[in-house]
Amino acid sequence: MSGAGRPPPVRFPRDPAVSRTGPVAVPTGGPGTHEGRAPGKVILVGEHAVVYGYRAIAAAVDLFTTVRLHERPGRSEVEDTDIWDARLADALATLVPPEGVGVSISSDLPTGCGMGSSAALAVAAVRAAARREGRVASFEECFERGMAIERVFHGNPSGLDHTVSAMGGAVIYRRGERATPLRVATPIRLVVANTGAPGDTAEMVAGVRDRKPEVELLRIGALSEMVAARLALGRSVGPFLHEAHWLLRRIGVSTRELDELCRAMEAAGAEGAKLAGAGGGGIAIALVTPETEDAVRHAASRLVDDRVYAVSFGG
Could you tell me if 174 and 208 lie in one domain?
no
Q: Is the pLDDT of residue 29 over 60?
A: no
- Which residues are annotated as catalytic? 161
Mean pLDDT of 131-135: 95
Q: Rounded to 5 degrees, what angle do the CA atoms 143, 310, 234 make?
A: 75
Residues 258 and 302 in one domain: yes
The rounded percent of the chain whose pLDDT value lies above 90 is 71
Given 125, 152, 180, which residue is the final one in a domain? Answer: 180
Per-residue model confidence as pLDDT tens digits over 204-222: 999 999 999 999 999 999 9
Domain count for the chain: 2
Q: Is residue 1 part of a domain?
A: no
Domain with 277 in it = 183-313
Least confident stretch, 121-125, 153-157, 162-166: 153-157
Express each pLDDT in 279-296 by its tens digit. Answer: 999 999 999 999 999 999
Q: What is the pLDDT of residue 31?
A: 56
Residue-level pLDDT at 84: 77
Residue 91 has pLDDT above 80, yes or no: yes
Q: Are residues 166 and 79 in the same domain?
A: yes
- CATH code of the domain covering residue 110: 3.30.230.10
Alpha helices in the chain (DSSP H): 88-92, 117-132, 139-154, 160-167, 201-211, 214-233, 238-250, 256-267, 293-304
The pTM is what?
0.85
Shared-domain flag, residues 162 and 202:
no
Count CB neighbours of 146 within 10 A. Answer: 33
| Position 156 pLDDT exceeds 90 | no
